[in-house]
Amino acid sequence: MFGAMLEKLLSDGVHVFEQDGPNGSRISVIAEIRAKAGHEEEIRVILHELVGPSRTQEGCEMYLLLEDKGKPRSFSTYEEWQSVGALEKRLVGAGAKAALEKAQPILAGEMKLTIFRRLL
């Protein structure tokens, strides 16, 4: 399931912004993750493990892990990357891929990843 989502993301969503905008090729990303009931702490731990390596990944400018106060079991990341290529390297890297595959069985639905081009 994760492999199909990653393949779709890399083939469909990311490449929409290959052409540079006024601020270069920088992108912002919001990932929305929801844990199955009773698995909040497991997802929290998995997501925490992604923060350090993501922040030190070449091309990462910001990586925040957020937990929704109004929606139990709902988490998000807000990320800023220097380029689509930097994001792609992170997503296909062994650490991120392994963590997301580990999380897959305890997610309530698919992770939603939205990629934004910086306009201003």
Question: Rounded distance, CA 12 to CA 70, Å?
Answer: 31
Task: Band the pLDDT of 120: cuts 50, 70, 90.
Answer: confident
Strands (E), the chain: 27-34, 60-67, 74-81, 112-117
In terms of pLDDT, which residue wins out, 27 or 22?
27
Give me the residue spans of the domains in the chain.
2-117
User: pLDDT tens-digit profile of 51-92?
Assistant: 999 999 999 999 999 999 999 899 999 999 998 889 999 988
Task: Band the pLDDT of 16: cuts 50, 70, 90.
Answer: very low
What topology is assigned to 2-117 in CATH?
A: Alpha-Beta Plaits (3.30.70)
- Give the pLDDT score at 79: 97
